[in-house]
Structure 1
Amino acid sequence: MDTYMTLTAYGDGAQAALEKAQDEVEKLEDEWSVTNENSEIYQLNHSGGNPVTLSDDTADIVGFALEMAEETGGDLDPTIYPVLEAWGFTTDENRIPSQEELDALLANVGYERVQLDGTTVQLPAGMEFDLGAVGKGYTGDILAQLLEDEGVTSALLDLGGNIQAVGERPGGGDWRLGIRSPFDGGEGVLGMLLASDCAVVTSGNYERYFVGEDGKEYGHIIDPDTGYPVDNGLASVTIITEEGKRGDALSTSMFVKGLDEASRYWQDYQDFEMILVTQDGQIYLTEGIEDQFTLSSDFGNMDTHVIERDEQ
């Protein structure tokens, strides 16, 4: 999944449970990788428009990605992968594509053209599907359930910045989770979040970006409408939610939406909490976590605003 993962579990049987968790990660990687020629997603992307039958795991996550694409109005679009490739975010050979190239690639972007019937999926020829915006979160959910089934009641899973907290910390009480600063390339801790038995997912262009020949910074989160990296004044989005897969999808799509649209979206759904950090140093957090988040001393001078439920 192109990231470092650290899985920590406590109590009797923790070591054996973690070994099963590692095996599960490797199995899912083999099923979902866009670059492994034996993976189901690779086979789907090279199907030439023909139907492909997927395993239950893969069909479930493809279905979930399509549901979130619909719910977010396409701000999460799992068919954006060729555009990411064109910018070099999948190869580390970064470049600024021409408008003509982007227009041609965007003609094959559009989640609503993916047909899913049970475990059978059909992509139009030329379209590619990628699980990058939901895969780590979905994996976190599966691992959390696996550990609980193995009797683990306290664990902390860090899947490349996607945090999945199983239960409370050893000895009881909330986990103290550091939220990375989106400034200076992600150096330092912006603040501390108290949380238990939930997923905490952060997205920001500080994670992967490059400076173009024009001197501008270009980040890896792409706006599916334009094919260009998002540039809307947000520096990072942190989502706190029960399910890692939903947190993963929302952290990307709320970043695409920007401050105002993301705030309205939260007021409409209210089944997650959120911390938005703007590039000019403002913090907006939803009222449900107002008492659970504390700025670190290095960032104590930042202004904090609370997004309230009754705002219109």
Structure 2
Amino acid sequence: MSRKWTAALLCLSLTLGLALGGCAPSAAKQSRSGFYFDTVISMTVYTNDEKLLDDAQAECQRYDDLLSKTKVGSDVWNINHANGERVAVSEDTRDIIEKALEYSRLSEGRFDITIEPCVALWDFTGDAMGILPDGDALAAAAAKVDWTQVDVSDGGVRIPAGMTIDLGAIAKGYITDRIADFLKDRGVKNGFLNFGGNVLTIGGKPDGTAWNIGVQDPQGTQSQGILGVVAVEGEAVVTSGIYERGFDVDGVRYHHILDPKTGWPVQNELAGVSIVAEDAFDADALSTTVFAMGLEAGTAFIEGLDGIEAVFVTRDDAVTWTSGLEGRFTLQEQ
């Protein structure tokens, strides 16, 4: 075949390709923010679907209505007010509670959604912030905490009368995963979600490089509040620490990560833990669990899990990270 005919056929192929949509326009960057789950959320995706982020926000509202413990008629509100009776719940609610119980088993009770009676006695953001709860009342609340009493079946969820649950430690992670699935089902290949500090990336950047996600400085001593950055593609980065919600009394930091056995904030050498995992739910649950374990036990625990990594920051500003982050985590220069 002559070069002339080859060039003509190539030109015809390109023309047909464009006519049939073979060279589709590149996806446009779109962003949206809102307030759900008692926190600010933001979504940035690359898509030409003008309705997509509106639909995603509607999904966020649906989950908020379903899982909030304060909204009358939500699944969690109904469970907490059933006086020991079994409550029919949505598949999402059953799924998240079953996953939470798996982490309770895995962590030997350090993670426990029945800690709500203790949570209710603390105020880390409102008018009563800085006031310690009554010790006897907190001990009585802690006596009600027992994840093994949560009964989940196809018929619904039942907890003993007087016990209550709080999904706040894991709901954002679970919902972040589900919203990412929703976006990917609608064709999104690249993007990232930030749901109150729970960051989940969809793929990499459109140019093929990884996302560089900032790891929060729990002490606030680094520039712009960033301790370092970790390169991720299709992974979540979630941080828990003493900086998020808390106050100081007589030189003691009282924060929102409570010990299920006592109801008092966990006190150890850690200021913060950041988890890198494929799922935001795993990262969310593990950030709380591993913080409660402390540096040595928490590091060993994460090193024993496949596909999970962690960055640890101590109260004296020492920073360590698990072996799988070598070459992926870069410490910020002071």
1:152 and 2:188 aligned: yes
- Residue number among 81, 97, 100 corresponding to 1:62 in the alignment: 97
Tell me if the contact between 1:199 and 1:241 (Cα under 8 Å) persists in the aligned partners.
yes
Amino acid in the other structure paired with 2:111: L
Tell me by how many angstroms 1:209 deviates: 0.6
Tell me by how many angstroms 1:221 deviates: 0.6
The 5 Å alignment of 1:118-157 reads 118-157=154-193
CA distance in 2 between partners of 1:129 and 1:137 (Å):
17
Amino acid in the other structure paired with 2:256: H
Amino acid in the other structure paired with 1:200: V
Tell me by how many angstroms 1:93 deviates: 2.0
Report the equivalent of 1:290: 326
SS at match of 1:52: coil
Could you give the per-residue CA deviations for residues 13-59 of structure 1, whole angstroms, max 9, x where no partner exists? 2x422112111110000000011112110111011111111011111
Could you give the per-residue CA deviations for residues 130-167 of structure 1, whole angstroms, max 9, x where no partner exists? 11111011011101111110001011100000001001
Could you give the per-residue CA deviations for residues 71-115 of structure 1, whole angstroms, max 9, x where no partner exists? 111111001112112122375523212321111101110101111
1:179 and 2:215 aligned: yes
The 5 Å alignment of 1:207-286 reads 207-212=244-249, 214-286=250-322
Distance 1:106 1:148, change over 3 A: same
SS at match of 1:68: helix
Amino acid in the other structure paired with 2:333: S
1:82 and 2:140 aligned: no
Identity %: 39
Tell me if the contact between 1:59 and 1:119 (Cα under 8 Å) persists in the aligned partners.
no
* Bigger Cα Rg: 2
Could you give the per-residue CA deviations for residues 266-296 of structure 1, whole angstroms, max 9, x where no partner exists? 1332330110111111111111111011111
Report the equivalent of 2:70: 35
Amino acid in the other structure paired with 1:149: D
CA distance in 2 between partners of 1:234 and 1:56 (Å):
36
Moved more, 106-115 or 181-190: 181-190
Report the equivalent of 1:191: 228
SS at match of 2:257: coil
- Residue number among 43, 57, 69 corresponding to 1:22 in the alignment: 57
CA distance in 2 between partners of 1:254 and 1:181 (Å):
17
Could you give the per-residue CA deviations for residues 202-236 of structure 1, whole angstroms, max 9, x where no partner exists? 11110111123x34221111011221111101011
- Residue number among 194, 203, 206 corresponding to 2:243 in the alignment: 206
SS at match of 1:43: helix
SS at match of 2:51: helix
Amino acid in the other structure paired with 2:301: Y
Tell me if the contact between 2:230 and 2:329 (Cα under 8 Å) persists in the aligned partners.
yes
Structure 2 gaps, min length 5: 1-36
CA distance in 2 between partners of 1:62 and 1:170 (Å):
35
Tell me if the contact between 1:185 and 1:206 (Cα under 8 Å) persists in the aligned partners.
no
CA distance in 1 between partners of 2:235 and 2:148 (Å):
30
Distance 1:86 1:195, change over 3 A: same
Structure 1 gaps, min length 5: 299-312
CA distance in 2 between partners of 1:219 and 1:136 (Å):
19
CA distance in 2 between partners of 1:206 and 1:168 (Å):
29
The 5 Å alignment of 1:290-309 reads 290-298=326-334
CA distance in 1 between partners of 2:261 and 2:147 (Å):
12
Distance 1:161 1:92, change over 3 A: farther
Tell me if the contact between 2:125 and 2:245 (Cα under 8 Å) persists in the aligned partners.
no
Tell me if the contact between 1:41 and 1:129 (Cα under 8 Å) persists in the aligned partners.
yes
Supply the RMSD in Å over aligned alpha carbons. 1.5
CA distance in 2 between partners of 1:72 and 1:108 (Å):
19
Tell me if the contact between 2:273 and 2:287 (Cα under 8 Å) persists in the aligned partners.
yes
TM-score by length of 2: 0.85
- Residue number among 30, 45, 48 corresponding to 1:12 in the alignment: 48
CA distance in 1 between partners of 2:212 and 2:127 (Å):
33
Distance 1:204 1:92, change over 3 A: farther
CA distance in 2 between partners of 1:122 and 1:63 (Å):
12
Report the equivalent of 1:49: 84
Amino acid in the other structure paired with 1:18: L
CA distance in 2 between partners of 1:92 and 1:66 (Å):
33
